[in-house]
Amino acid sequence: MSVISRGFSGRGNAETANLPPGQYLTTDFPVLSAGPTPHIPLDRWEFTIRDEKNALLRRWDWKSFRELPTESPTVDLHCVTRWSKLGTSWDGVSLDTLLSDVHADASYVMAHSYGDYTTNIPLHELKNRKAWIAFRFDGKDLEPEHGGPARLLVPHLYLWKSAKWVRGLQFMREDKPGFWEGLGYHIYGDPWREQRYSGDQ
């Protein structure tokens, strides 16, 4: 009884309200990767923050990264191919923690991944508990297909901004397109404003 009423009324209405325009709900977790899945041994993994000229500002290896305080956000995911998955649970390190004492003369970052994927994001979109480097999904170590050992998680933007296998952020003074943005996807990618392609408002 409780299962039926939750499925049909309360939860259904709440979920529809959380669905951006043009999206449909899915409960599985599709894998979308532009290339092969890189496999990064933890003893070779690193996450770096670099300035515009590529100078190293911060570096964590897996051990020092995992010693940082973690958060456990529950967030909704919206892929530009129109599936949304609501209420996903993650463990990760907040970008507020990683960027806390880094001073940048820059308003944008390029996220770089192992395997060469890139995506651009305004720096302020990574702050104020809106973005994480996530290493666990649903209580389990993040699967390689979904970006393990660790991926960027910026759930308030379309999911292509959440770079899997992330290896670092580079500050940029001016905005530049990353991989999908350079192929015609929107430079910003707000699902609530349906910013799918570069011509969209």
Ligand X SMILES: Nc1nc2c(c(=O)[nH]1)N[C@H]1C(S)=C(S)[C@@H](COP(=O)(O)O)O[C@H]1N2
Residues near ligand X (CB under 6 A) are: 29-34, 79, 113, 115, 117, 146-147, 159-160, 162-165
Interface size with Mo ion, residues (CB under 5 A): 4
User: Is 80 or 110 the residue whose CB approaches Mo ion more closely?
Assistant: 80
Q: Which of 92, 90, 86 is closest to 28 using CA atoms?
A: 86
Taking the C-alpha atoms of residue 102 and residue 106, their distance in angstroms, rounded to an integer, is: 11
User: Is 25 or 79 the residue whose CB approaches Mo ion more closely?
Assistant: 79
Taking the C-alpha atoms of residue 23 and residue 194, their distance in angstroms, rounded to an integer, is: 9
Taking the C-alpha atoms of residue 89 and residue 87, their distance in angstroms, rounded to an integer, is: 6
Smallest gap from Cβ 138 to ligand X, in A, equals 12
Smallest gap from Cβ 46 to Mo ion, in A, equals 26
Say whether residue 32 binds Mo ion (CB under 5 A): yes
Smallest gap from Cβ 158 to Mo ion, in A, equals 7
Beta bridge partners of 74: 89
Smallest gap from Cβ 200 to ligand X, in A, equals 16
Taking the C-alpha atoms of residue 126 and residue 101, their distance in angstroms, rounded to an integer, is: 14
User: Is 70 or 84 the residue whose CB approaches Mo ion more closely?
Assistant: 84
User: Is 80 or 93 the residue whose CB approaches Mo ion more closely?
Assistant: 80
From start to end of 39-189, where are the E strands?
46-50, 56-61, 74-78, 83-94, 108-113, 118-122, 132-137, 140-141, 151-153, 166-172
Binding residue (CB under 5 A) for Mo ion from 57, 79, 104, 187: 79
User: Is 99 or 163 the residue whose CB approaches ligand X more closely?
Assistant: 163
Can you give the binding site for Mo ion, defined by CB under 5 A? 32, 79-80, 160
